[in-house]
Chain A
Amino acid sequence: MKFLMNTGRTVNQGASVENKRSAAYNDETGTCFMHLFDMMELGVDDRENVRVTSPFGEVVLMVVSDEHLKPGTIFVPYGPYANHIIDGETHSTGMPDFKSTEVTIEPTDEARKSVYDLMADLGGLPYDH
C-alpha cells in the first residue's frame, strides 16, 4: 500500500536523543505510526514489523496504531530510520523533503535493525562502550 511519510519530534525522541544506544531511542525512532484502518487493510497488528520502501531505500519499522493520523499517512519520529529512506535532494533550499516522502508499505517477518546496525551498513563503526 502507498503512504505519505511525515516525520517530526516527539517527547520520547527528545528525552532519549542524547543516548542513541538506548532501547528507548531505538524503539521510538524505529516506529511507524499508522491509522488502525490502514493496519487492518495491511493485516498487521500493533508492534509487528513492516517494510517501508521509498525510491531511495528501504527499512524495517515497527508499526503502532495512532487514531490521530489521517488514513494514507504515516508518522515516523525523527531519526536514523526515517532518514534511511529520505532523499538528499533539497530543491535549492538546503532542506530535504523530511515531511513528504512517498513510501510503499508491506508486512514482513524480518527483524528491525538497531540504529547501530544501520550505521554499520553504511560503513560506520558503532561505538559501544
Chain B
Amino acid sequence: MIIKDAVCPFCGCLCDDIEVTVDDGKIVAVDNACTLGNHKFLGDHRLPGPIRRDGDTWKDIRYDEAVEYAVDMLLEADRPLLYGWSGTHGEAQCVGVHMAELLRGVIDNTSSVCHGPSILAIQEVGHPGCTLGQVKNRADLLIYWGCNPIDAHPRHLSRYTRYADGFFLENAFRDRKVIVVDVRKTETTNLADEFVQIQPGADYAVLSALRAIARGKGDALPRTVGGVPREQLVRIVDLCKKAKFGAVYFGLGLTMTRGKYKNIRNAIELVDELSRHTKFTISAMRGHYNVYGSNEVNTWMTGYPFGIDFSRGIAFYNPGETTAVDILARKECDACLIVASDPGAHFPRACIKHLADIPVVQIDPYANATTAFCDVQIPVAVTGIDAEGTAYRMDGVPIRTRKVLSTGYPSDEEILGRIYARIQEVRQP
C-alpha cells in the first residue's frame, strides 16, 4: 500500500509530500524525504514494552503498572518537572499542561534550549515573520544566519528557497541571492552567493554594524567588525536594500552564543530597519517537528510559551528560573516526567546528575540516553507513523500528521490521558 502526502515527523519543515510504501505491516520504502526523514520512517529499535529499573537490571512490566508508577511518582512529588514535548502532537501537549496545573508542577519544553531566546526577543520587539509559502513565491534575497539547513533542515533549500520555483520570480534559481553568515564553513556556506564568516560571539557587533550602514552611518565603523571587512558589510546592506523581498532565517548559532536573546533582538531590529527600504521578514529555523506546537499550545492555555511554573496555583513564567536546565542544575525538582525528548543526551552534566538522583518516568518510543536515568520508561506510538495528531510547522502553520501504519502501541495522548485521569481522581474527586 502506498500512502501519499504523509507528513515527516522529524524537523520543523514538516514536509507534507512524503510517499510511504507499507507492506505487511512494515514501512518498506519512503520517497521524497531527506536522509533524516528516511531514517525516521525506516528506523526500528523501538522499545518493545514498558520497562522498570530494578537495582542493576531492567524488568519488563505491563502498561497498567507503568501508568500506576507514573501516577504515584507525580502525586508524591512536591515540585515535579514535566519536560520535553517537542516530539509529540498538540493533543498530547494539551494533556501535559492540564496535568502540570493540577499537580502544581513546572512544565517546560525543549525550546528553552533551542529557540527560547528567540521567543524572549520576540516578546520584546515583535516578530515580523511570514509563512514559508510567501518566501518560496516572493523572496529574491535569503539570509541564513547561524544555521546550517543542509545538515539540520535538508529540504528547506529545495522546497522554499535556493532550489525552489517561485510564482513571482521568473527564474528563481538565477534571481534569488543567498547570503550565509556563520562562524565556520559548512555545506550550506558552500552554496551561498555571499559567505560572511564572523568571529565566534561577534554576531551582535556585526548585526549592529549592518544596522548602522542601513541607517547611513557606515562611515563611523572601523575597517573590520567581528572579523568581517567593512566593504563586505556595505555590499550586503546594498544587496538587502535592492531586494524586492528579503527573508532572514536564523538558527542556534544566534540563540546559543554570547548575547543569546539580545542577538535575536538586534536581528529583528535590523529587519525593521531594512523594512523602511523594502519588504523584509525574519523567522527562526525551528528544530523538532512540533517544538513550535508546544509553544503554541502552552501559550493559548497559560499565556506563556515555555518554562511555566504552577506552584503558586497560577501560571508563572521566568526563564532562567522556571526553565528545565536551571531547575535541574539547582537540584530543585523532586520528580521528573519526560515526554518525547532526550535531556540525557542534550543537557549539561550537572542537570543529568540530578536526574540520576530523583524518580524519573520517560514516555518515548525509543531507548535513549535518558533511559539510563529512568525508573520507568513507557514506549508509545510515533506521531506521524503509527499515531496521528496536530503539529506546527516552523512558520506556525498547523498540519495534521498522518498515521501510516498500525502497531498496537498507545499514543502519547492515550498514555498521558490515562495518567491524568488517575491524578484527577485523587486531586479532583
Chain A: residues with CB nearer than 8 A to chain B? 4, 6, 8-11, 14-21, 29, 56-57, 68-70, 73, 75, 78-80, 83-100, 115-116, 119-120, 122-127, 129
Contacts and interface: CB of A to CB of B under 8 A. Distances in A.
Contacts of B287: 9
B348 A83 contact: yes
Given A88-B350, A99-B200, A94 B45 contact: no
A88 B36 contact: no
Nearest to B57: A125
Contact of A91 (B252, B260, B356): B260
Contacts of B321: 92
A15 B152 CA distance: 10
Given A125-B53, A125-B58, A83 B260 contact: no
Contacts of A90: 320, 323, 325-326, 329
A8 B253 contact: yes
A95 B45 contact: no
B154 interface: yes
B256 A18 contact: no
B344 A124 contact: yes
Given A94-B320, A95-B112, A116-B372, A80 B256 contact: no
Interface of B: 10-11, 35-36, 39-40, 43, 45, 47, 51, 53, 56, 58, 108, 112-113, 116-117, 120, 148, 150-152, 154, 183-186, 197, 199-201, 252-253, 255-258, 260-261, 287, 306-307, 319-321, 323-326, 328-329, 342, 344-353, 356-357, 366-369, 371-373, 377
Contact of B326 (A8, A69, A86, A94): A94
Nearest to A4: B200
B319 A8 contact: no
B372 A93 contact: no
A6 B184 contact: yes
Contact of A11 (B150, B324, B373): B150
B348 A9 contact: no
A100 B51 CA distance: 38
Contact of B261 (A10, A93, A127): A93
9 contacts: A6-B200, A9-B148, A56-B350, A83-B346, A90-B329, A92-B319, A95-B117, A115-B369, A119-B352
Nearest to B364: A18
Given A93-B319, A127-B58, A56 B349 contact: yes
Given A69-B184, A92-B319, A15 B35 contact: yes
B325 A94 contact: yes
A10 B356 CA distance: 28
Of the listed residues B154, B184, B186, B369, the one surrounded by the most CB atoms of chain A closer than 10 A to its CB is B369
Nearest to A115: B369
Contact of B356 (A69, A87, A124, A127): A124
Contacts of B185: 68-69
A45 B14 CA distance: 40
Contact of A95 (B200, B255, B328, B366): B255
Contacts of A120: 372
B38 to A, nearest CB: 8
Contact of B112 (A9, A18, A94, A100): A94
Contacts of A75: 184
Given A90-B325, A129-B367, 6 more contacts: A73-B200, A79-B345, A97-B256, A99-B252, A99-B256, A99-B257
A56 B344 contact: no
Contacts of B307: 94
Contact of B367 (A10, A21, A56, A92): A21
Of the listed residues B47, B148, B260, the one surrounded by the most CB atoms of chain A closer than 10 A to its CB is B260
A122 B151 contact: no
Nearest to A56: B349
B256 A98 contact: yes
A47 B152 CA distance: 24
A127 B345 contact: no
A97 to B, nearest CB: 7
B372 to A, nearest CB: 3
A85 B352 CA distance: 12
A70 B258 CA distance: 18
Nearest to A19: B45
Contacts of A91: 260, 320
A18 B45 contact: yes
Given A9-B152, A14-B152, A80-B345, A119 B372 contact: yes
